[in-house]
Amino acid sequence: MLKRSLMTPGPTDIPPDVLLEAAQPSMHHRTPQFSAILAKASKGLKEIFQTRGPVLTLFSSGTGGMEAAVANLVLPGEKILVASIGNFGERWGKIAAAYGAQVEKLYYAWGQAVKPAEVDKRLRANKDIKLVFTQHNETSTGVCNDIQALAKVAHKHGALLVVDAISSMGVIPYFTDKWGVDVTISGSQKGFMIPPGLAFIHLSSRAWQRVKRKKQAGNHGYFYFDLTAARDKLKDPKSPTSPWTPSVSLVRQLKVAVDMVVGEGMEALWARHHRLAEAMRAAVKALKLEFFAVANRSDAITSVKVPKGIDGAALVKKFRDEWGVTIAGGQGDLKGKIFRIGHMGYAEEKDIIQAVGVLELILKEMGYKFTLGVGVTAVLKSFAKK
Amino acid sequence: MLKRSLMTPGPTDIPPDVLLEAAQPSMHHRTPQFSAILAKASKGLKEIFQTRGPVLTLFSSGTGGMEAAVANLVLPGEKILVASIGNFGERWGKIAAAYGAQVEKLYYAWGQAVKPAEVDKRLRANKDIKLVFTQHNETSTGVCNDIQALAKVAHKHGALLVVDAISSMGVIPYFTDKWGVDVTISGSQKGFMIPPGLAFIHLSSRAWQRVKRKKQAGNHGYFYFDLTAARDKLKDPKSPTSPWTPSVSLVRQLKVAVDMVVGEGMEALWARHHRLAEAMRAAVKALKLEFFAVANRSDAITSVKVPKGIDGAALVKKFRDEWGVTIAGGQGDLKGKIFRIGHMGYAEEKDIIQAVGVLELILKEMGYKFTLGVGVTAVLKSFAKK
């Protein structure tokens, strides 16, 4: 017997009602029944994105949503700026390069945050750059960028800001309209608490102008990720739908999950995630572990350096195979050097207590020196404060 | 109370074990557990595709799989041949045009099949065409093309054949290796009996050569649908996986469904679908209705002209809303003029008996003249013959 839970930066655990929705009999997608579900889910997405504009659902992972932004916005040979602080930031650069863009790289060491003043400088030096790509929460490092400041800087130079908010939406405060973000992308398996397979995207009216310009030029080099087609099919007042066959079961789950998120309320939901992250950070400090993120530690995940003398891969494996709790290791060069504990989506106080308890037991077994109980005590103190 | 079933050309009904698999708690995708599931599902896909080569799973609808073929194979400005017999054939033309290809069109009236001799003639007249795109079963019309003959013709001219087998794979006999098909695409919500959201693709070694050539040229204009990346990640012997986050719940359902399909055996499965289609066709004849497909009637779906004086849209609606059986109407210009009954996937003899029974009751109510019972009697006679 082993109770299993996911405390990774996505996929996250899924609430039972959302799981059971996937076990409902098949439904055809060209029916009033499905249109009603898609319409309700799309309405909830607007609340979660904090926007009045439509949020489109794409039938792909988050990476497909990122590609949709590049495919629909970037002109061939165009110079763009990628402000990267980790693995997913670098993915922006790779996608744009695959589309023939000239990528101006403002790449930070992993663990750092983007400095808006440096984006400003880079845009001043490259007046031809009209698109800036970055992350809100960088999943590989647990660092959060200041999107409001970055939007301001981009707009000052007449550029649009494109943000991957895949692991932050529905977790950390994000205001699409208030901040004036031009393109925002998210995915289903993080704050949305449903299985992977859906991406969400919102575009500002400025961004739609650009999409129109590229599309009119013809030979645009995309089809499945055609955002104009997706928008036109969704806004059909008679029967909102999607241009291609939608992932029906995932959309049904989305509707149930979005109802839960909106029902909790965005302020309460953000506060919950902050509470969990604060407790996790208190435990890390009490255990005298070292944070990997040196700036803007995210409320979505906590990244921690593996202590000297401890086998990082073995630690992650023990969590999963001996204790039933799946956490994440490091990506790329960080493999074995950090571990990442997600506290997003269907996560609450009890999950932090147990995860820190397990962490202590594993660290003790692996020879790390500390007083057993200081981690969970710090967690309890953090929660007792409220 | 209304028992609901789908008899559309996809999505199809889903077996209970496959439905329940989606209600299993979340699983992380970078784990030995998920790799084992993906490996088993991929092995079954080879059996269903009748190939020794790898079958890749993409996380999109079937249209995404079609785009993957175009994106990875077609060079910018290249002339290609599309042999179309319906809505999905024309989609090949649209995708290729979006990628800047010159589309040579061999478009037949809907209801017809591709004539291999005419493809031969077209390729003789256009020696620069090295890619031919077509459908196995054209979902919009219920006509099946002779893929074996088309592969022979394409190869005679040194061209590759790319086949959309989305609604035929696991339904109608298809032999990827024996016929030498170069690219074969399918999707999850038809013969595979799982919800929409997955596409499958197989490439011959000749097709892989072409993919390599395009990729080496750089700026290739795709990322999410990078077939080379998908192949390399899947063949990793240590832990087969996918380059981007996979749709975990759908892959788990795929594994269960593929076990069922392979367990039935391909010969038995094809024979079952033939038996169902024969009974449906016997009913259409007995009811003196007119087939829409004038050539190669498919064993996947039966398309029927709406009799004069009957409202086609109302007929489809009555099926769904009054009788709980969802069938499909016509697409494009055929809206209201035909109806299509799918008999694929999780479908058996009893489903045909009830669907024809419902059809008779609706036709009678709508004023079509016939002797009540002749349809179901023809169905029973067809089944009794075996």
Smallest CA–CA distance from B95 into chain A, residue: A223
Looking at the DSSP assignment, which residues form a beta bridge with residue A106? Answer: A83
**Contact yes or no for A250 and B26 at CB 8 A:** no
CB B183 within 8 A of CB B160: yes
CATH value of A5-10+265-384 in 3.90.1150.10, 3.40.190.80, 3.40.50.300, 1.10.1200.10:
3.90.1150.10
A10 contacts in chain B (CB < 8 Å): 245
Q: How many other C-beta atoms can be found within 10 angstroms of the C-beta atom of residue B151?
A: 25
Enclosing H/E stretch for A124: helix A116-125
CB A106 within 8 A of CB A118: yes
Identify which of B358, B280, B50, B75 has the alpha carbon closest to the alpha carbon of residue B175: B50
Q: CA–CA separation, A64 vs B58, rounded Å?
A: 11
Residue A267: strand, helix, or coil = helix
Give per-residue pLDDT as tens, A165-183.
999 999 999 999 999 999 9
Query: CA distances (Å), B133 to each of B91, B93, B152, B269, B319, in order?
Result: 10, 9, 14, 27, 35
**Contact yes or no for B67 and A224 at CB 8 A:** yes
Looking at the DSSP assignment, which residues form a beta bridge with residue A326? Answer: A6
From B62, B221, B320, residue closest to A100, measured CB to CB? B221
Higher-confidence position of B237 and B188: B188
CB B302 within 8 A of CB B280: yes
Question: Taking CB atoms and an 8 Å cut-off, how many pairs form between chains A and B?
Answer: 187
Q: What is the reported pLDDT for A386? A: 67
The two three-digit tokens of residue B219, written as one number = 């700026």
Q: What is the DSSP string of A130-197?
A: -EEEEESEETTTTEE--HHHHHHHHHHTT-EEEEE-TTTTTTS---HHHHT-SEEEEETTSTT-S-S-
Q: What is the DSSP letter of B29?
A: S
CB B167 within 8 A of CB B145: no
Our CA angle for B85, B86, B90, nearest 5°, is 100
Identify which of B358, B333, B344 has the alpha carbon closest to the alpha carbon of residue B140: B333
**Contact yes or no for A61 and B62 at CB 8 A:** no
**Contact yes or no for B247 and A250 at CB 8 A:** yes
Burial class of residue A367 in the structure, from the number of CB atoms within 10 Å of its CB (0-12 exposed, 13-18 middle, 19+ buried) = exposed
Query: pLDDT over 70 for what percent of chain A?
Result: 100
Residue A327 confidence (pLDDT) above 70: yes
CB A193 within 8 A of CB A12: yes
Q: What is the DSSP letter of B238?
A: S
Smallest CA–CA distance from B19 into chain A, residue: A23
**Contact yes or no for B223 and A95 at CB 8 A:** yes
Mutation test of the interface with chain B: which of A14, A247, A327, choosing the one with the most B Cβ atoms within 10 A?
A247
A249 contacts in chain B (CB < 8 Å): 22, 195, 197, 249-250
The two three-digit tokens of residue A25, written as one number = 């009999």
Q: CA–CA separation, A81 vs A291, rounded Å?
A: 29
Q: CA–CA separation, B262 vs A228, rounded Å?
A: 40
Q: What is the reported pLDDT for B218? A: 78
Band the pLDDT of B386: cuts 50, 70, 90. low
**Contact yes or no for A246 and B196 at CB 8 A:** yes
Residue A238 confidence (pLDDT) above 90: no
Our CA-based measurement puts residue A385 at a distance from the nearest CA of chain B, in whole angstroms, of 32
The two three-digit tokens of residue B73, written as one number = 């194979």
Residue A76 confidence (pLDDT) above 70: yes
Alpha helix positions (H), chain B: 16-21, 32-49, 62-73, 87-98, 116-125, 147-156, 176-179, 205-216, 227-235, 248-264, 266-286, 312-317, 323, 349-365, 374-384
Mutation test of the interface with chain A: which of B58, B224, B226, choosing the one with the most A Cβ atoms within 10 A?
B224
Q: What is the DSSP string of A213-242?
A: HHHHTS--S-STT-HHHHHHHHH-SSS---
The two three-digit tokens of residue A122, written as one number = 């880079």
Q: What is the reported pLDDT for B288? A: 98
Residue A350 confidence (pLDDT) above 80: yes
Our CA-based measurement puts residue B336 at a distance from the nearest CA of chain A, in whole angstroms, of 15
Burial class of residue A384 in the structure, from the number of CB atoms within 10 Å of its CB (0-12 exposed, 13-18 middle, 19+ buried) = exposed
Q: CA–CA separation, A96 vs A92, rounded Å?
A: 6
Q: What is the reported pLDDT for A9? A: 94
**Contact yes or no for B19 and A14 at CB 8 A:** no
Our CA-based measurement puts residue B129 at a distance from the nearest CA of chain A, in whole angstroms, of 19
Q: What is the DSSP string of A270-322?
A: HHHHHHHHHHHHHHHHHTT--BS--SSB-SSEEEEEPPTT--HHHHHHIIIII
- Architecture of the domain whose range is B17-262: 3-Layer(aba) Sandwich (3.40)
pTM for the model stands at 0.97
Residue B327 confidence (pLDDT) above 80: yes
Enclosing H/E stretch for B339: strand B338-342
Q: CA–CA separation, B28 vs B239, rounded Å?
A: 13
Residue B56: strand, helix, or coil = strand
From B23, B61, B98, residue closest to A19, measured CB to CB? B23
Give per-residue pLDDT as tens, B17-38.
999 999 999 999 999 999 999 9
Q: What is the reported pLDDT for A237? A: 86
The stretch B373-380 carries a mean pLDDT of: 98
Q: What is the reported pLDDT for A220? A: 83
Contacts of B266 (CB under 8 A, 6+ apart): B47, B48, B50, B173
Q: CA–CA separation, B153 vs B120, rounded Å?
A: 6
Q: CA–CA separation, A333 vs A140, rounded Å?
A: 11
Domain locations along chain B: 5-10+265-384, 17-262
Burial class of residue B206 in the structure, from the number of CB atoms within 10 Å of its CB (0-12 exposed, 13-18 middle, 19+ buried) = middle
From A25, A97, A223, residue closest to B67, measured CB to CB? A223
Our CA-based measurement puts residue A79 at a distance from the nearest CA of chain B, in whole angstroms, of 14
